Amino acid sequence: MMRRIAAIVLATLLMLPPQVMQAGTLLLRDGKRMDGEVRFTTEGQLAITPEGTAKEQLHALEAVQTAVFSGKLPRSVDANSKRPNAEWTLRDIGNANKPAVMGAGDKRITLRDFSGGVRRKKYGGDSIAFIGQRLEGDGEITARVIVTEQNNRARAGVMIRETLFSEARYVAIVRSVDTSECVMQVREERTDMPEVVGETQKPILGAAWLRLTRAGDKFTAAESVDGKKWTVLGEKTLPLVDGRGVFIGLFASGTGAENVTYFDGVVASGKRSTITEIDQVNEPVSGVVLRSGTLIAGNIERVDAKEVRIRRTDNEQISLNPASVSQVFYASLSEGMRAKVERGSLGIMLQDGDFVDGELKEIDGDRISVSSVVFGITQIERRQVAAVILRPLAVEKLPWVVKMADGSEIRAKSVKLDKDRLVLDEPRAGEVRVLVKDVLRVDSIK
Amino acid sequence: MMAARRVMICALALVLGSMPVWARFDMTKPINGEIMRIEGNTVALGVGDSKREILLAIEPETVISLNGNKAKWSEMHAGFRALVTIKDGVCQKFEATGQK
């Protein structure tokens, strides 16, 4: 009997919607600003426990101008501080069993992560904990890395990566605990497994100093047992898309169980800034822009005259009427590319930056046919294409804008809560349901 | 034919599986080596029959002993045998044996 009651209680607890409690900010319509723990209530209100208080306040969604979640507050820019902890931001990249935790003292950064390593995109991309900053142009990071986990899959090191997406291109120095070796590891293409381009000559037992330098497109990796005499592991030329900068920092990954790594004497140089809310909104690698201005990030599964179908990062499939789609993009666009796309011409933006004016005729497997006034019907290989512009934007002024962690920015006529999801009424896509835990920011525009 | 193929695959797996073992260290056990060189607080140890060199930094908290007695780092010399215990990612014990 007691066992049955316990089972019923457990089942009831499991059925309850998850409590989503995150650090953030509420800006109210009356101009009041509060920082603290922000969450959606099950009644669809926004609740905040302001910093320094224990009492939760409830606010109707209509009273809120902006709600920012999950520690995504913009922070002050600190371009050249050498302090190890002040402006470092922790970010779980990819799926981790639990969120990582960072502790920062004057000399040491402690990282407890529950992530699972670097992987191919089809297996979900990297699963690492990353402590980073934004870097514009040349820069360098040095740290003494101590991997405490004795499990042979524990890895840690320093890294410069193009985006905070799990399949981002990057250069890293990866320290393995089982071999006591460091390797210079590079992911040149987003869908690839990383490659080793340089490695230790003499393994270092215990703690090791690592240094990764970016000078133009050239990266240099070095290691040292004492932080004084350095040995170059390798060099690699890799042009990273550097529109608003790349990300420089420390990382660790393990087996999904708790993995503790210490980073001592962390020093970064170059034009750096703290990762802000805007940075956290990853630039989507692929997705669609609707004519309403809504951007939905995800994998493009189908584009033809009948349907545009996209699979979002939360694995939900969205089927769209092609008439409601303005752009389909297969790669993150550089600033120059974006400027060309925003001119409003229909056609195809190529990966090399060229723009082919014309009307999309067909996407057949790996080939895209476009009808151009100058060239007639032209076939282009899909892998050469960064974006297809199908129709001009007709941005509507809508009362709600919801920004998601995967880079989606959804404009909606209404927003309501349904258990652990926000239900957004998007004028072109219809009802779009998103997980509350993935919402970075909600803006009410009136 | 199938059995022969299976034997071949098993043999290959055994060979491949055993390949990296020499290069790996079991950090849960002390690592045995010979002091090759000392530079400041760092030491090059020769490990295994091939005396493959690995480097190690001695930490302020490392417990150092020579022939079972507590010792100073300055007492260490090339040619001594050493047993190194790694804990929490750093050198916890450096136990040397040898004649001065």
Q: Return all residues near A268 (Cβ < 8 A) that are at least 6 apart.
A: A82, A133, A135, A139, A140, A141, A142, A248, A249
Of B23, B28, B57, the CB nearest to A207: B57
Integer Cα distance of A299 and A317 in angstroms: 9
Residue A394 binned pLDDT confidence (cut-offs 50, 70, 90): confident
CB A220 within 8 Å of CB A269:
no
End-to-end CA distance of chain A: 57
Q: Decide: A329 and A289 in contact? Cβ < 8 Å.
A: yes
| pLDDT tens for each residue of A32-91 | 888 888 888 888 889 898 888 888 999 988 888 888 775 544 433 333 444 433 478 888
Which residues in A lie closer than 8 A to residue B41 (C-beta atoms)?
226
From CA B8, how far away is CA B1, in angstroms rounded? 11
What's the whole-model pTM score? 0.59
More confident residue, A277 or A10: A277
Token representation of residue A69: 């979640």
- The per-residue pLDDT for range A299-338, each reduced to its tens digit, is 888 888 889 999 987 888 999 999 999 999 887 776 567 6
Burial of A94 from C-beta contacts in 10 A (0-12 / 13-18 / 19+):
buried
CB contact under 8 A, B27 and A178: yes
Whether residue A20 is predicted with pLDDT greater than 70 in this model: the reply is no
Whole-number CA gyration radius for chain A: 23
ipTM value for the complex: 0.77
User: What is the number of CB-based contacts under 8 A between chain A and chain B?
Assistant: 63
Minimum Cα–Cα distance from B56: chain A residue: A205
Closest CA to A398 of A420, A425, A419: A425
> How far apart (Å, rounded) are the C-alpha atoms in residues B56 and A252?
21
Are A179 and B23 within 8 A, CB to CB?
yes
Contacts of B89 in chain A (CB under 8 A): 146-148, 177, 206-207, 261-262
Give all domains of chain A, ordered by start, each with its CATH number: 2-68 (2.30.30), 89-275 (2.60.120.200), 287-444 (no CATH)
For the cut 50, the answer to whether the pLDDT of residue B67 exceeds it is yes
List Cα–Cα distances, A337 to A318, A340, A343, A355, in angstroms: 26, 5, 10, 8
For an interface test with B, give the residue of A175, A182, A225 to mutate (most B CBs within 10 A): A225
Question: Other C-beta atoms within 10 Å of A238: how many?
Answer: 17
Q: Are B25 and A262 a contacting pair at CB < 8 A? A: no
CB A20 within 8 A of CB A39: yes
Backbone angles phi, psi at A97, to 5 degrees: -65, -35
Q: In one letter, which amino acid is A315?
A: N
